[in-house]
Every structure is written in structure tokens, then in C-alpha cells.
Homo-oligomer: A and B are copies of this chain.
């Protein structure tokens, strides 16, 4: 019985969240309406996203906003335009959410013209969308504004779609061996059955395909995710769901250079730009390679660091997200050996070495971190 109720609880996660998002949007609208009806100039408080209000929270292991906020009010003539724009974005987000239609940042910019709502350029509408995120506390993907980029997933997870027209359809994500795109349909689906016991996120597409071919999903009971470089926000949110709802540990496998390291870090600790949001990062995710020390230990073919690589490593040294022992050691090793290596470098030992030898060895280490 407890198992069943747990499953039932899990099944409603998406629906419940969607209701919360719509009710936040509705609250924002109602508040504005009430202000007008009661003869007040409409206004709203927006937590400040300025650099001196962004702090790293050691406990949450992510950036958060401090207590400062900005009051935007129609009483101030300079606020009338951005406040009106914000209310319009809220209305548009509400329409998208209720009708289960999706959009993109660029698309919202053009859509405004259908309502004779004016934005000087896309930058202006992008900023207002971030304002709305800050006000309601949900990310734009929650109100159906998606990025252009898509990454992919493969593995023994059965999802049940909630998308209109597909409601109740189920699909096992091993059905298509090239991988399924992670878009609005997947991120809005319920996770109904999972045989995997871990997630491996992979930077490069070639490696993602190799892992499928070499059956990492069955040998290691893993869900495989192709991040396609920096993981899109929708994918970071989905990784978080896999970790929280299914209790799956998440392991990240990138190129061995400061950029690969940072792909892992953004999945783990998020970005300063998203300090106003939760649920986009997975603090317990682990980066298992390619480490700088792997370049030495596995005698990998490598390239010399560029000036830009070195500059980036010194930046990361000062970044509060890189406080941990592992990170410090790897940053120092990169600088010391002055080398970087790509995931494909393991092919020097044959195409399957990475799956047969390296992966099991590193998973064992990562599990103990």
C-alpha cells in the first residue's frame, strides 16, 4: 500500500506543478486587478537581481537572491511602460499555460505585436520574461517558453504524456535507439516506471551513441542523457526531476577541460543568472570525468591549454561553486600539466575501452565521492 500511494503521488507531480504555476500567474493578475478596483496605482515588488543581491548559499549549494527588492509602480511615469509589459507577459504566459501551447523567447517578442504591445527589441522582452520568473518564482519553461536547443534521452524509463492529444499515452524511452528529444512533451510527462538506477549525462553526441550501442543502459542500468554541450534549462530541470522524484543519482561525463568542467558545474550548482529560481540544478550530481588526473593516469592523447583555457581556470578558482576538494585538485592539475583531453581520446585504446574499462572504474569512484 505505501508503494502504491508513493506511485500515485509521483504520478501527479506534473499536474500539481502546473496548477501552482497557473495559480501564481492568476494571483499576480488578481492583485493588479484589486489594486485598480480599490483606486490604487497598480504596483508589484520584484526581488532585485542586481549583482549585489546575488549570494552563494552554501547549504542549498546554489546562488540565491538576497532580501532587496524593487517596487515597480504606475505612480512613477517611468515605470508605466515596464509594468504594463510585465502584466502583458503574465497574461500571455497564462494563455500559453492554460492552452498547453509552447513558445520561445523570440516568438514571445513577435507575439507582442499581435497585441499591439511594444518592445524596443528582443532584449527588452527577454528581460521582462525574467522579471516575470522572479515575480512568480517559476522558470519560463514552467509557463511554456522553451529554449530553441534540444538535448536527448535514452533508457528504461516509461513516461506518460500529459500533452493535449497525447494524454495517457505511454512510451518507454528505449523505443528509439538514436534517443528522444527532451522538449515540452517529455518535461510535462509523468515518470511512471523506471528500471534504471542511475543517470549518466554525456556532453558529446558521438559518445551518447556509443554508450547506447555498447548497452550501457542495460549493463549499468543507466538512463543516458545527451547534454549537447551546455545542458539546456529544460534538460537541467528534467535531470533534477529524475534525481528528486525517482531518487536516481546523476553522474556527468564531459570533455576534460575547463568548459566541460563547467557544463557539469551548471548542472550541479546552477548559474548566477538563475539565482531567482530553484529546481534547475541537482546539487548531488557528480562529475566523474574526464578529470585532469585522468589525462595523466590513462595517458590520454591531449592538447595544450590555450590562453583562454588558462584564463578560465583561474576564474573558476575564485568561483564559490568550485570550493570542494575535488574541484580544486582538478583545476590545479589542469594548470600544472597544461593539458586538456576530449572524451573521444579514449578511442586510442579501442572503441569500447571507454565503456568496458573507464566507465566502470570511474562510476565506482564517483559513487564513493
Specify which of A100, A111, A183 lies most central, judged by the most chain B CB atoms within 10 Å of its CB: A183
Among B171, B206, B213, B349, point to the contact of A106 (Cβ < 8 A). Answer: B206
User: Which of chain A's residues 286-341 have a Cβ closer than 8 Å to chain B?
Assistant: 301
A203 CB to nearest B CB, Å: 10
Evaluate contact between A166 and B177: CB separation under 8 angstroms.
Answer: yes
**Beyond the given A103-B206, A111-B347, A114-B347, could you list 18 further A-B residue pairs with CB under 8 A, ordered by the A residue number?**
A102-B213, A106-B342, A107-B210, A110-B344, A114-B350, A146-B206, A150-B152, A150-B178, A150-B205, A152-B181, A161-B177, A165-B215, A166-B177, A178-B180, A178-B181, A178-B183, A178-B184, A178-B185
Q: How far is the CA of A64 from the CA of B232 in the complex (A)?
A: 40
Q: Does A127 count as interface, using CB distance less than 8 angstroms?
A: no
- Asked if A104 is at the interface of the complex by the 8 Å CB criterion, the answer is yes
A101 within 8 A of B: yes
Taking a contact as CB atoms under 8 Å apart, the answer to whether A186 and B181 are in contact is: no
Interface status of A76 (Cβ within 8 A of chain B): no
With A163-B177, A210-B102, A344-B107 in contact, is A205–B349 under 8 Å at CB?
no
Q: Which residues of chain B have C-beta atoms less than 8 A from A111's C-beta? A: 347-348, 350-351
A70 to B276, CA, bound (A): 63
Shortest CB–CB separation between residue A102 and chain B, in angstroms? 6
State how many copies of this chain the complex holds.
2
Quick check: A345 and B110 within 8 Å, CB to CB?
A: yes
- Top 10 closest pairs, chain A to chain B, by CB: A178-B183, A104-B206, A177-B185, A113-B348, A110-B347, A178-B181, A111-B347, A178-B185, A179-B181, A148-B205
List residues of chain B with CB within 8 A of the CB of A342: 106, 110
Is A204 part of the binding interface, using a Cβ–Cβ cutoff of 8 Å?
yes
A84 within 8 A of B: no
Complex CA gap A266/B210 in Å reads 29
> Which residue of chain B lies nearest to A116 when distances are taken between CB atoms in the complex?
B348
Instruction: Across the interface, name the chain B residue whose C-beta is closest to A205.
Output: B148
Tell me if A182 is interfacial: C-beta within 8 Å of chain B.
yes
Interface string of A171-197 (1 = CB under 8 A from B): 100011111111111100000000000
Contact A349 B114 (CB under 8 A): yes
Task: Indicate if A126 sits at the interface (CB-CB under 8 A).
Answer: no
Distance between A225 CB and nearest chain B CB, rounded to angstroms? 12
In the assembled complex, A32 has its CB within 8 A of some CB on chain B: no
- Interface status of A245 (Cβ within 8 A of chain B): no
Say which residue of B110, B186, B209, B210 sits within 8 Å of A301 (CB atoms): B110
User: Cβ of A149 < 8 Å from any Cβ of B?
Assistant: yes
The CA-CA distance from A149 to B208 in the complex, in Å, is 12
Task: Decide if B171 touches A178 in the complex (CB within 8 Å).
Answer: no
Q: Closest CB-CB distance, A245 to chain B, in whole Å?
A: 19
Contact B351 A149 (CB under 8 A): no
Q: Which of A178, A182, A213, A350 has the most CB of B within 10 A?
A: A178
Q: Are A180 and B183 in contact (CB under 8 A)?
A: no
- In whole Å, how far is A93's beta carbon from the nearest beta carbon of chain B? 13
A28 to chain B, nearest CB (A): 21
Q: Which residues of B contact A169 (CB under 8 A)?
A: 175
Q: Are A175 and B175 in contact (CB under 8 A)?
A: yes
